[in-house]
Structure 1
Amino acid sequence: MDLQQLKTFLEVCQTRHFGHAASNLYLTQSAVSFRIRQLESQLGAALFVRHRNNLQLTAAGERFRQHAESIITRWEQARLDVASQQDRAPTLSLASTTAIWQAWLGPALLDLHDELADRHWQTETLTPDQISRRLLERSLDLAILPVPLKVDELNSQLLTSLPLVLITPGGVTAEQALEHNFVHLDWAPNLPSSSQPEPLPTASLRTSDLSLAKQWITRNNGAAVLPESLLQHEQVSWQGWPELTRTELPLYLIHHASHPDLANLAPVIDYLLQR
């Protein structure tokens, strides 16, 4: 078993198609099939099964996918760690969900780098489940989520709260926008959150992508509960309706309680807590 086999397996998992995986990896389809057969032979189990022309993971394939992701991640972390030691500059990994990166963490990281320019960064967009697993494996240094992870080995600290309000394009009333084109922004898929107050209408779009949510309500004269900062910092003319919907999204900084290099993390944690 080698890394190329694992990368090929994960690409097939992503595309669910040998031909598409081959194209993405600049390989022939026969080469992809051969690598998968090698893996299945080494593991003694089938990883994929065809079902009505769809390629599906077997139960063994689902279990092995987590191991393959972990191995690739640990290899990349080891490579970066060795490189950073040679450069004498630490590399820290930071993860969150798509919406939180776009709404808060991306700008925060830019400011953080201005303050701590000697750090190198590896950023990742992950699901909460992936974040929890990676933190427990100690293959991820820091994460930001809208809920604390209630695991004994993990430390969750409240960083800040992001004010959210109901927003529509300028000139569109909330009643008009909510009637047909409400967008539900999912800040952390599969995690409970109180940031989407009820009652609100059925969403015409549910997404974890803040950029798509803004484009959707702009084109369709819709509404969404979005960061209040959009009203001041964007060129697009937005209209806020805090009297109808106003809430806050808590953001928690999470890391392993027994992180091997807490001294290196401390300035980063202190800066984010004070931001």
Structure 2
Amino acid sequence: MDTELLKTFLEVSRTRHFGRAAEALYLTQSAVSFRIRQLENQLGVNLFTRHRNNIRLTSAGERLLPYAESLMNTWQMAKKEVSHTQQHHELSIGASASLWEAYLTPWLQTLYQQRESLHLEARIAQRHLMVKQLHERQLDLLITTEAPKMDELTSHQIGHISLALFRSRKSEKKEKYDYIKLEWGADFHQHENYLAGADDIPVLTTTSAHLTRQLLHTTGACAFLPDFWETEYSDLLSIQDTAVVLRPLYAVWLQNSDQQTHIRQLIKLPVNI
């Protein structure tokens, strides 16, 4: 379907006059008539009844009208989105909720403060879904604690994160606490094994660091959270005799991504942990 035919149809239906439609579209009247005939031939129906200057929509034209308006609106939105992306080099960045909440939001704030005309999309999803989106070119950049070992992907370490084991300051001191399992990577279980027996089940499994912190007192549990949160949130108390866990932080993208230049510029700004 030629969108110019629909555009002409909509203008004629609005003005109910081929001459005025031609003026609005900067066309000759014969060109407008030709386009309407083309559209009618494609659809196999008459769209207008013509009696001298009295032009009216047929029943088929009335039925086409809302679809034509919807299609033209969709086409205009599509053109706007495509030109917007080309003009501003919009990048889509994906990470887990816990990374966004704890580490990447300040990094994003600094990016916007230091760079003009920056247009980004921040996505929250599980790592395996975002790896798939990278391959399908639905995502430009993935930030994760585990670099996928795939030849078609490029990985670059951009820093590390430090995690400590916390409980609520209001909770009673215990020898053993229940555990809230927070998403810090699929291989993070090696740091969790000593907290509970193999058969113990976390009281909560989540991808949100803020949700975890808010539920520590309610559940009487412990969880690994950013170590610097102890100075930011007075309700947190680190559990003694547990070591701080360091995790690498990687930027991952397709080797043949057409956004490589912009990605490399972006990751020059360190993630301050």
- Scaled by the length of structure 1, the TM-score of the pair is 0.63
Corresponding residue for residue 254 of structure 1: 252
1:106 maps to amino acid: T
What are the superposed Cα offsets for residues 44-67 of structure 1, whole Å, 9 maximum, x if unpaired?
xxxxxxxxxxxxxxxxxxxxxxxx
Conservation of the 8 A alpha-carbon contact between 2:107 and 2:272: no
Select 1:270's aligned residue among 246, 268, 271: 268
Cα distance in structure 2, aligned partners of 1:77 and 1:255: 25
1:126 maps to amino acid: A
| Structure 1 gap ranges (5+) | 1-75
Displacement of 1:230 in angstroms is 0.6
Select 1:200's aligned residue among 195, 200, 207: 195
Q: Which has the larger radius of gyration?
A: 2
- Scaled by the length of structure 2, the TM-score of the pair is 0.63
Conservation of the 8 A alpha-carbon contact between 1:94 and 1:124: yes
Cα distance in structure 1, aligned partners of 2:118 and 2:125: 22
Corresponding residue for residue 92 of structure 2: 93
RMSD: 2.5
Conservation of the 8 A alpha-carbon contact between 2:96 and 2:183: no
Displacement of 1:90 in angstroms is 2.1
Conservation of the 8 A alpha-carbon contact between 2:158 and 2:271: yes
Name the CA shift for 1:109/1:116 in 2 (closer, same or farther; >3 Å): same
Corresponding residue for residue 187 of structure 1: 184
Cα distance in structure 1, aligned partners of 2:236 and 2:95: 26
Cα distance in structure 2, aligned partners of 1:105 and 1:192: 21
Q: Secondary structure at the match of 1:258?
A: coil
Displacement of 1:233 in angstroms is 1.9
Corresponding residue for residue 120 of structure 1: 119
Corresponding residue for residue 227 of structure 1: 226
2:183 maps to amino acid: D
Corresponding residue for residue 46 of structure 1: none
Corresponding residue for residue 85 of structure 2: 84
Matches within 5 A, 1:104-143: 104-143=103-142
2:140 maps to amino acid: D
Displacement of 1:78 in angstroms is 8.4
Corresponding residue for residue 212 of structure 1: 211
| Structure 2 gap ranges (5+) | 1-76
Corresponding residue for residue 21 of structure 2: none
Conservation of the 8 A alpha-carbon contact between 1:81 and 1:90: no
Matches within 5 A, 1:162-173: 162-172=161-171
Residue identity over aligned pairs, in percent, reads 20
Displacement of 1:82 in angstroms is 2.1
Q: Secondary structure at the match of 2:157?
A: strand
Q: Secondary structure at the match of 1:124?
A: strand
Conservation of the 8 A alpha-carbon contact between 1:77 and 1:139: no
Select 1:244's aligned residue among 242, 246, 267: 242
What are the superposed Cα offsets for residues 66-116 of structure 1, whole Å, 9 maximum, x if unpaired?
xxxxxxxxxx9986442233xx32211000111111111122111111122
1:225 maps to amino acid: F
Cα distance in structure 2, aligned partners of 1:77 and 1:90: 16
